[in-house]
Structure formats: structure tokens, C-alpha cells
Amino acid sequence: MKIELIKLPYATDALSPVIGKQTVECHHGKHLQTYVNNLNNMIPGTKFENAALEVIVKESEGALFNNAGQVLNHNLYFTQFSPNGGGKPSGKLAAAIDASFGSFESFQGTFEAAGVALFGSGWVWLASDSRGALSIVKEPNAGNPATSGLKPLLGFDVWEHAYYLDFQNRRADHLKELWRIVDWKAVEARY
């Protein structure tokens, strides 16, 4: 099964100033495209040749996992934002966040702190287990909560290429600004 570069649900300049056009073009059009190309070059002749992306992530290792993980992570990342995003979640997800973290604001602070504290490159995730219980998961490099049996709901990329052109080395400032573009309807649909 050929893995395709995900189409953005918005124009490359639509998330500015939180994520600028040049960052989106480099991050999506170059970084993600490279992971897609690498993965497509690696899977022929393996047991993953016709596997779904999520299966490859859950069952592979090494370079194959790294590229598959980054494709899945970025697919989730780019589809969780909207130029009309921001605000707060609603419904069952909002209730679960309140139950797990006390309030949405407490969740935001804990989530941001986890992203800032992650050494080096990786991802910070809001994930749910099979019962719907929420947790914040820090994953280095290409890690994804799916490898631990969790469902990734919201992921912030803390690799420098995700924010350096817009925020230089100010990861904490970048993480604070991302809330302005989160499409909570997209995230709630994953829950």
C-alpha cells in the first residue's frame, strides 16, 4: 500500500502567525514528504507492504518505525489545526479533561510543561485508553502513544523544525500559541 502525503485542510499561510507559511511549507512539504518517501522505499518486500500505517507503527522497529511514526504523527498534527481554531473542547472530551486534570486551564499548563520538559526532539500527546481515561504522554523522536495501546488525540511536535522559523529557540512560547489554532472538533472526533 503506497503511503501518500496528507493534503492540508487549509492554505499554507492560514495558520500564521502561530505557524508561518514558510514553516508549513518546510514542515509539511519537505520534512513530512521525506518521511513518506523513505517509508514507501522501505516497505516493499516486507510484511508491511500492504499494511495500514497504524499497523506499521505498532509492529515495526528501527528506521521503518521512525519513518512510519513520523508520518502518522504528522498526519495527526496537521489535521488538528484550523485557522478558525482555538477556544476549548466541548462535550465528552471537555468532561474527561476536567475529570482528569481539574480544568482545561490546568490541562493546558500540564501539557505545555510536558512539552517544554521533553529533552531533545519528540512529541507531547493527549491520549486516551480503551475506557476513555486521558493521560499526557511524552514521546521521544517518532514515538506515538499507539505503541502502548493508547489512542492519540492531540499532539504537539517539539522538534525544532516545527517552530524554529517562527519562534527560534522559544519552545515554551510556541506551545502556548498553538492553542489558538487547535481545531477541537477534529480532536473531539478522535476521542
Average pLDDT of each block of 10 consecutive residues along the chain (191 residues)?
A: 93 96 95 96 95 96 96 97 96 97 97 94 96 96 95 94 81 94 97 96
Domain boundary among 32, 51, 78: 78
Nearest-angstrom CA–CA distance, 3 and 81: 22
Nearest-angstrom CA–CA distance, 185 and 168: 30
Please indicate, yes or no, whether residues 99 and 74 belong to a single structural domain of this protein.
no
Domain for residue 86, yes or no? Answer: no
Q: How far is CA 172 from CA 111, 154, 157, in A?
A: 11, 17, 12
Please indicate, yes or no, whether residues 108 and 185 belong to a single structural domain of this protein.
yes
Give me the number of domains the chain comprises: 2
Please indicate, yes or no, whether residues 144 and 176 belong to a single structural domain of this protein.
yes
**Predicted local distance difference test score (pLDDT) of residue 190:** 96
Q: Where are the alpha helices (DSSP H) in the chain?
A: 21-26, 33-42, 53-59, 62-78, 91-101, 104-117, 164-167, 171-178, 184-190
Which residues span the domain enclosing 132? 91-190
**Predicted local distance difference test score (pLDDT) of residue 84:** 95
**Predicted local distance difference test score (pLDDT) of residue 163:** 79
By DSSP bridging, strand 122-128 and strand 134-140 are antiparallel
Nearest-angstrom CA–CA distance, 157 and 91: 26
**Predicted local distance difference test score (pLDDT) of residue 165:** 73
Please indicate, yes or no, whether residues 110 and 133 belong to a single structural domain of this protein.
yes
Domain for residue 5, yes or no? Answer: no
Strand order in the sheet with 122-128: 134-140, 122-128, 151-157
**Predicted local distance difference test score (pLDDT) of residue 164:** 78
**Predicted local distance difference test score (pLDDT) of residue 90:** 94
Distance of CA 106 to the CA centre of its chain: 20
- The pTM is what? 0.94
Domain for residue 8, yes or no? Answer: no
Domain for residue 161, yes or no? Answer: yes
Domain for residue 6, yes or no? Answer: no
Contacts with 85 (C-beta within 8 Å, 6 or more apart), sequence order: 180, 181, 182, 183, 184
